[in-house]
Amino acid sequence: MVTKGEVTFENVDFEYVPNKTLLNQFNLKIKAGETLALVGASGSGKTTLMYLLLGFYKVQKGKVCIDGVDISTINTGLLREQVGMVQQECILFHETLRYNLLLAKPKATEQELLQACKDAQLETVLQKLPEGLDTKLGGENISISGGEQQRVAIARLFLRNPAIVILDEATSHLDGETEKEIQKAYARLCKGRTTIIIAHRLSAIQDVDCIAVLNKGELVGYGKHENLLNMCTVYRNLYEYQYNKEGVGAKDEAI
C-alpha cells in the first residue's frame, strides 16, 4: 500500500463536540522520510492529528492522505500495518512475552523476536524471566516496570517495521542511560521512514528536520528550532517556559 510514506492533511475540519471546532481548514504536509515534531500546549491538537492519521476518528471535511491516497478509502487493517505508534503508556495482555510481541507480527521467527528485544533494550529483562519469551507477564512474582512495558511496545514497532512511525514522547518512562540507547535504535529504525514525534520536551526535538507548532488546532509555526525562536511567539513562549522557569525540573517539564 505505502511506497513512500508522505502524509498530508488537506483542509481538514474536525470536532469532538458538535459546533466546537478543534481543526478548521487545517493543512500540513510531511515529506516521505522526514522527521517532523509536533509541538504545542495540551489540547492544541497534536494527538488528535495522529488519531486521524491512524483512522481512529474521521474528519468532518477535507482529507488525510498517505502518498496521495485518501485514507478513508484504505482498509483499516492495511492502514495500521503501515503506521506504527508508541505511546507513553503501553497496554500488555496477561499472556506470555512471546504472545505480546507476536501481536505486532504473528509469523515472526524466533530470531526476529530476539532481535526486536535486543533493539528495544529488553535483553536484560528477558534474561531475568524464568521461561524467557514464554514467561507469562503479570503472573505470580513476574512483574515488569512501566519503562519495561514501554520497551515491549518499542520491540513491537521494530517487528512491524512500518513505513510511518509515530512517537508520543515514547521514551518518557526510561532512565537516562537506557533512553540514550533507545534513541540510537530509533535512529536506525526511523532512517528512511517518515517519523512524527509528538513532543513534550523541546530538548528532544531540536535536531529534527522540521517542527510544526500548533495552537488551539491551528498551525502557527513551521520550520527549524532557531528560526521558530525568532519568528514564532507561541514556540518561543513554550521554550522560555521550559528552560527559563524557576524551580527544579523546569527544564524537562512537559508541554
What average pLDDT does the segment 196-221 reach? 89
CATH number where 247 lies:
3.40.50.300
Residue 198 lies in a domain: yes
191's enclosing H/E stretch is none
How many whole angstroms separate alpha carbon 115 and alpha carbon 126? 12
Least confident range from 32-36, 195-199, 223-227, 241-245: namely: 241-245
Containing domain of residue 225, as a range?
Answer: 7-252
What letter would DSSP give residue 41? S
Grid cell, residue 16, equals 469532538
Residue 1 lies in a domain: no
List, for residues 101-134, the tens digit of each pLDDT value: 999 999 999 999 999 998 888 888 888 888 999 9
What average pLDDT does the segment 184-205 reach? 82
How many whole angstroms separate alpha carbon 4 and alpha carbon 67? 6
How many whole angstroms separate alpha carbon 70 and alpha carbon 181? 36
List, for residues 54-93, the tens digit of each pLDDT value: 999 999 999 999 999 999 999 988 898 899 888 877 788 9
Instruction: Give the number of domains in the chain.
Output: 1
SS3 percent helix, strand, coil of the chain, rounded to 5, is 40, 25, 40
Residue 2 lies in a domain: no
CB burial string 97-131: b at 16+ within 10 A, e below: bbebbbebbeebeeeebbebbebbbbeebbeebee
Angle at 240 between CA 236 and CA 244, to 5 degrees: 165
